[in-house]
Structure 1
Amino acid sequence: MRSPYFPARSVLFRKEPNGVTYRVPALLYLSHSRSFLAFCEERLSPSDSQAHLLVMRKGTFYRNYVEWDDICVLGTAFLPGHRSMNPCPVYDEFTGTLFLFFIAVLGHTSESYQLVTGKNVTRLCYISSTDGGDTWSPITDLTKRVIGDTIKEWATFALGPGHGIQLKSGRLLVPAYTYHIDCKECFGQLCQTTPHAFCFHSDTHGRTWCFGEAVPGPQTVECQMVSVDEEDGTNVLYCNARSPLGYRVQALSLDDGAVFQEGQLVQRLVEPRNGCHGSIVGFPAPLHLHQSRNSHLEPPAHSSRHWTPCMAFHDRLAFTRSAASTVSTSSRSSSIAASPNPNVTPVPPSPLSPRHNAPPDFLTPTWVLYSHPTLSTARKDLGVFLSLFPRDPDSWRGPWVIYEGPSAYSDLAYLELSPSPGAPPAVAFACLFECGATTAYDEICFSIFTLYEVIDNLPQDVELGMNGEGCKRQNQVSEAGLSCSGDAQSAPAFQQGRKKLTEMCSAS
C-alpha cells in the first residue's frame, strides 16, 4: 500500500494574532491574462456575525509557479452599516467584465435571527471590473430591482459562495439559496422555513438580472452549478448543493436555470453534521483538447519577495505515452508540504494531454470535479471526487484526499497547463480551501494539481481485470483521463464510459 500523496500548497490568507480570520474562499481563473483571483471574507473573529469586508489576492500564472500580490481590501464592496459576505465572482467572456457578487447583511444580525423572526436584512450587491480585478466600480445594490416584493417571502438568502459560470449562450449564472417562509405566524413567531437553491441570471451581459425557480426539494442550501454537455448533444444545468440530510443533493435544469427538477440525494457524497459548502467545476473530457495557444508569460527579470522558482518544471515534464500511466514510487510516497514562500504556489508536473483524434460523430462530454471534506463526522480531510456522468448520482469516484486535517469550504477552478511551447495543454485544476492544524479556519490555502494526479490517486478499491491480466490498456485509459479502479458492478455507466474511451484509444 503506497503512502498518501498531497499536492503542494501555498498559504494565501492566515488568521492573525488579533483574531482577524479569513473565511469563505472564492476562486476565479482568467485564462486570457493567465491570472488567478482569490477572494474571501475578512472577519473580526471566525463567527459569521463578525464578518466585515471582502479581500482579494491576485496571482499571475507562469509556466512553473504562481506569483501572488499582497492582500487587497475591496473597499467598494461595502454597503454602509452592513457586513459583506459570500463572495461570488463571475466573468463575462464576451465583454471582458468581471462581476463580484456578494450579500450585505445589516450590522451583526445573524442568519439564525433572520430565520426566527422572518425579518430579512440581507441585500444583493455587486461590484465590477473591466481590467481583471485591478480596479473596481462602486457598489450596486440590486435587491429592490431584482428581488422586489419576493424578499418578503424569504427569511434570508445568500449567494454561492464561490464562482458563478457563463453558459455558451452568454447567460451569466450566480448560484444562490433562500430560506423560504412556509409558515409566517405561529404563536407570534416564525415557525418554519425551508432552504432552496436557485440562481440569479443575466442574458444582457450584466445590465439586467432576474432569478429562476428554486429546487423543489429536498432541502438545498449553499450550491454551485455546471453546464453539462452530453455525447448525444443534449445539455443540462447541473446543481450540486449542501444539505443537512447527511448527503449532497443534485438537481437538473433543462432550461438553463429557469426551472429545476426535483433534487436527488447523492449517497456517494456525504455531508458532516449540518453539512458543509463544496465546490464543483466542469471541464471537457480530454479527447478534443485544442493546440497550445503559445501565449506563455515569461517570468520577471528581477527578483522580489513575492516569488521564487519552485521546481525544475520543464525537466519534470519529460513524460512519454508509456510513462503517462505510471508514477515513480518516490513521487507517490512524498507528501508535499506547504510552499516555503507564501507568495509562490508551485505548479505540478504533468504528462502530455491525451490524444484528441476521436471520431467526428463523438461530442465531447462534460466531466465534473467536486471538492469537499470527506468525513461524515467532522469538517476534515478535504478531498476531490470525479464524475464522468454527473447526471448519474452513483457515478462519483473518490475521494483523493488533498489535505489531511481540519478543512471546510473550498472553491475549484479549471485551467490548462502547457508542458512546453507548441505542446498540447494538459487538464489541471486549482483549489482554494480553508484548512489548519488545529481548526479549519486557521488558513486559506491554494493548490494546483492535474487531472492525471486526480486519476492516479483515486482509491483503487477493485482492479478491473481483463482475462486475469489487469488493465491491459492502462496507458490508453490513463491518457483518456480514466483509472483502472472503482466498483464496476455498482456503477455501470462509469464502466461503460471507461470501456468506450479505452476502445477509442486503442483503435486510434
Structure 2
Amino acid sequence: MQPSARTMGPTPMPARKVLFQQERTGLTYRVPALLPVPPGPTLLAFAEQRLSPDDSHAHHLVLRRGTRAGSLVQWGPLCVLDTATLPGHRSMNPCPVRDASTGTIFLFFIAVRGRTPETLQIRTGKNAARLCCVVSRDAGLKWGGAQDLTKQAIGDAEQGWATFAVGPGHGVQLSSGRLLVPAYTYRVDGRECFGHICRTSPHAFAFFSDDHGHTWHCSSLVPNLRSGECQLAALGGGLLYCNARSPLGHRLQALSTDEGSSFLAGQLVPSLPETARGCQGSILGFPAPSPGRSAPDEPESPEDEEIPGGDLSWLLYSHPTGHRARLHMGIRLSRSPPDPRSWTEPWVIYEGPSGYSDLACLGPVPRGTLGFACLFESGARVSYEEVSFCEFSLHDVLENVPPDHVNEAAGHCWPC
C-alpha cells in the first residue's frame, strides 16, 4: 500500500530534554548509553563524565534514572557510579545489557590505565584497557563492585591486541537467552623487531554469555574490512546483524549465522555514509508491523492496538548526517535488512552539532505503534556541550523518513 502524500513544509522534530550538560569547571559528558527497564519502562541514561572533552580525561561513569509520568519522563538527579572503576584507571564506553529472565543489568565498560590514549596503545601495540562490568539487580538503584573480566573473556587473545573497547551503547539478548555485548579491537597484524608495531587493523566482534552472565567469552572478529565501534541487532531467520563505524567512507555491516560466535565477511553500506573521520552510530532491531496493518495515515481500528512480531525485523539507525562534520542527528529506517540498499534517507531530529547516540525501544504507545527514544550528544557550537534525550514513535518515523528505494521500486512500503 502506498503511503499518502505528505504535506510540504518544515519537517517536525521531537521535543528534546538535556540530561547532561558541560559545566563551567570543564566537566564534560560524552558517550551516551540508554537502557529501558520494565515496568513502565524505567529509563537508565548513562554517560562518561570527563574532566575535559579529551578522551584521556575520562573520569567516571554517571547515570540518571527516568520514570514515566503519563506522557512525560521524570528524571532523577545525576548519580556518579563510584563502583564502576578500577584503581588507577579511567572508566569509558558504558554498554548496558539486561537479562530478561533474571532482571539482572550488566553495565560493561573499559577501564584504561591512567591517561594512556588509545593512539599510544595502537602505535606501541601495548594494551592498557581492561574489560569490566558492574551488576544491578534492582533496576539500577544499586550497583555491585567492578569485576575485571579480561582474562576470562579474552584470555591469550589479548597478546595480539593493541587495545580494545566495548560498544558504546546497548547490548542485546537473543531469544535463546544469549547475552551479547558489542566490541572492537585493534589487532596487531605485524611487528617490527624489538617489539615495535608494524601495522594494526580495527575489527568489530562481540562478547557473549550463555549462562545468564556467569561467564563471558569473545567471538571471532569480523574478518576482512576495517570496522570499529559497533552495535548489534537480531534479524529474522536466525541472523545477527552488526553495524560498525569504518574509516572507509561508509558504515560497515556484517552478519552472524551462529548467534554472534563468529561473523561473516563485512560489506560497506553505500546508503549509510560516514562523517569525514567517522562517528559512532546506534542500531536497533524491532518486530515489523504485520502485513495487514493499515498505513500510518489511515484510521486505526481496534485490532491495530497490538504490535505483533513475527520473524521479520526492521531496523532503526541514528547517526549524524553531515558528511564533513558531526552535524544534524538523523534517524534512518530499513524495512528489508540486511539489504544494504534498503535504508531510507534520514529524518533529522536535531539540527546542529551532534555526535554519539544510542537508541532504545519503549514498547507500545497510543495509535497502535511502537515508541522509541534516542540519547545523543548535541550542542550549539560543538557536539559535546550536552547529552539530549528525545522520544518518537514508529508512526513519526514513517511520516518523516523519505521512502526507501527498494520498497518504492517494488510498489509498496509495507512487508508482504
TM range, smaller chain:
over 0.9
Matched, 1:87 2:94: yes
Partner of 2:235: helix, strand, or coil?
Answer: strand
- In the alignment, which residue of structure 1 is the partner of 2:4? none
Deviation at 1:24, TM superposition (A): 0.2
Matched, 1:405 2:356: no
Matched, 1:178 2:185: yes
Q: Distance in 1 between matches of 2:91 and 2:19?
A: 20
Matched, 1:430 2:373: yes
Q: What does the per-residue CA deviation read over 1:181-215, in whole Å, with 9 as the maximum and x for residues that have no partner?
A: 00122576212100000000000000011011010
Q: Distance in 1 between matches of 2:252 and 2:19?
A: 30
Partner of 2:412: helix, strand, or coil?
Answer: helix
Going from structure 1 to structure 2, the CA distance change for 1:354 and 1:497 (only over 3 Å counts) comes to: farther
Q: Distance in 1 between matches of 2:126 and 2:82?
A: 27
Q: What does the per-residue CA deviation read over 1:312-358, in whole Å, with 9 as the maximum and x for residues that have no partner?
A: xxxxxxxxx89x5189xxxxxxxxxxxxxxxxxxxxxx998847699
Matched, 1:236 2:229: no
User: Among 297, 300, 303, which residue is 1:325 paired with?
Assistant: 297
Q: Distance in 2 between matches of 1:495 and 1:452?
A: 22
Q: Distance in 1 between matches of 2:126 and 2:157?
A: 13
Going from structure 1 to structure 2, the CA distance change for 1:414 and 1:253 (only over 3 Å counts) comes to: same
Alignment of 1:479-498 (within 5 A): 485-487=403-405, 491=406, 495-496=409-410, 498=412
Matched, 1:248 2:251: yes
Deviation at 1:65, TM superposition (A): 0.3
Matched, 1:451 2:385: no
Partner of 1:452: helix, strand, or coil?
Answer: helix
Alignment of 1:48-63 (within 5 A): 48-63=55-70
Partner of 2:376: helix, strand, or coil?
Answer: strand
Among all aligned residue pairs of Structure 1 and Structure 2, give the percentage whose two residues are the same amino acid.
53
Are 2:304 and 2:368, in contact at CA under 8 Å, matched by a contact in 1?
A: no
TM-score, length-normalised on structure 1?
Answer: 0.77
Going from structure 1 to structure 2, the CA distance change for 1:52 and 1:207 (only over 3 Å counts) comes to: same
- In the alignment, which residue of structure 2 is the partner of 1:330? none
- In the alignment, which residue of structure 2 is the partner of 1:200? 207
- In the alignment, which residue of structure 1 is the partner of 2:313? 366
Q: Distance in 1 between matches of 2:272 and 2:284?
A: 15
Q: Distance in 2 between matches of 1:133 and 1:353?
A: 35
Going from structure 1 to structure 2, the CA distance change for 1:352 and 1:15 (only over 3 Å counts) comes to: farther
Q: Distance in 2 between matches of 1:433 and 1:30?
A: 19
Letter of the 2:9 counterpart:
R
Return the structure number with greater strand share: 2
Alignment of 1:210-229 (within 5 A): 210-229=217-236
Higher relative contact order (CA 8 A, sep 6+): 1
Q: Distance in 1 between matches of 2:303 and 2:125?
A: 52
- In the alignment, which residue of structure 1 is the partner of 2:136? 129
Partner of 2:225: helix, strand, or coil?
Answer: coil
Letter of the 1:148 counterpart:
G
Partner of 1:377: helix, strand, or coil?
Answer: coil
Deviation at 1:486, TM superposition (A): 3.7
Q: Distance in 2 between matches of 1:500 and 1:101?
A: 37
Q: Distance in 2 between matches of 1:429 and 1:140?
A: 31
Deviation at 1:286, TM superposition (A): 1.9
Partner of 1:191: helix, strand, or coil?
Answer: strand
Structure 2 unaligned blocks of 5 or more: 1-7
User: Among 99, 110, 114, which residue is 2:121 paired with?
Assistant: 114
Matched, 1:36 2:43: yes
Greater C-alpha radius of gyration: 1
**RMSD of equivalent CA atoms:** 2.3
Matched, 1:272 2:244: no
Are 2:152 and 2:215, in contact at CA under 8 Å, matched by a contact in 1?
A: no
Q: What does the per-residue CA deviation read over 1:417-447, in whole Å, with 9 as the maximum and x for residues that have no partner?
A: 443xxxx742111000000001000000000
Partner of 2:323: helix, strand, or coil?
Answer: coil
Letter of the 1:80 counterpart:
P
Going from structure 1 to structure 2, the CA distance change for 1:497 and 1:73 (only over 3 Å counts) comes to: farther
Deviation at 1:149, TM superposition (A): 1.8
Q: What does the per-residue CA deviation read over 1:218-256, in whole Å, with 9 as the maximum and x for residues that have no partner?
A: 100000000001xxxx22000000001110000000001
Matched, 1:99 2:106: yes
Are 2:111 and 2:131, in contact at CA under 8 Å, matched by a contact in 1?
A: yes
Q: Distance in 1 between matches of 2:145 and 2:301?
A: 44
TM-score, length-normalised on structure 2?
Answer: 0.93
Deviation at 1:150, TM superposition (A): 1.2
User: Among 155, 165, 175, which residue is 1:148 paired with?
Assistant: 155
Q: Distance in 2 between matches of 1:417 and 1:357?
A: 7
Deviation at 1:63, TM superposition (A): 2.8
Deviation at 1:287, TM superposition (A): 2.1
Are 2:343 and 2:404, in contact at CA under 8 Å, matched by a contact in 1?
A: no
Matched, 1:190 2:197: yes
- In the alignment, which residue of structure 1 is the partner of 2:335? 388
Deviation at 1:32, TM superposition (A): 2.5
- In the alignment, which residue of structure 1 is the partner of 2:361? 414
- In the alignment, which residue of structure 2 is the partner of 1:163? 170
